[in-house]
Amino acid sequence: MAEKIVGTGITPTTVANSILRRAFRDDVQVTPMKLQKLLFYVTCLYQRNTGKRLLTESFQPWRYGPVCRSVYDEFKGFGGKPITRYAQDALGNATAVDESSSEPFRKALNLVWLTLGGRSAVELSRMTHRNGSAWSQAIAAEKPFISNTAMAEDHTFDEELGI
């Protein structure tokens, strides 16, 4: 499958902080694994709706689903416990996406958060393992990364999103 998603994207931790902003606001516990899956679904939906790359980094097909390595590295110290802080850059600054600057991002994040934010990490992981998912395609082809195009074309979670 040839890549047709364009653009350079933004740092994954910036998008992860946007998810965490909602989690902290709504008092919803988000573990590192749950964050990875929510980040994956936001990225899939955004890329499907825009044809543009959301993240500067590609997801890797790990055993329990898609993983964005920089987000993993940032939050791995939490293990299976809820994340209690934002990702920070080298200067200690935490940034999130200015949602008013991107309606497509805001819509993707809102839909994923409202429909999947209350689900468990294990349930979200199981969803990524469905036949035909972008993760399962990468696993079957023994690819080191999940194709952005495959993510945009992944409709295995549409029913949960109500689309």
**Tell me: the pLDDT tens digits for 2-46?**
457 888 899 999 999 999 999 999 999 999 999 999 999 999 999
Gap between the Cα atoms of 31 and 86, Å rounded? 12
pLDDT, tens only, 45-93 = 999 999 999 999 999 999 999 999 999 999 999 999 999 999 998 899 9
What phi, psi does 118 have (nearest 5°)?
Answer: -90, -5
pTM: 0.95
| Cβ pair 19, 26 in contact under 8 A | no
CA distances in angstroms from 96 to 12, 34, 67, 104, 120, listed in the order given: 10, 18, 19, 15, 23
Angle between helix 32-50 and helix 103-116 axes, rounded to 10 deg: 140
Confidence check: pLDDT of 156 > 60: yes
Q: How many residues does the chain have?
A: 163
Radius of gyration, CA atoms only, the chain? 14
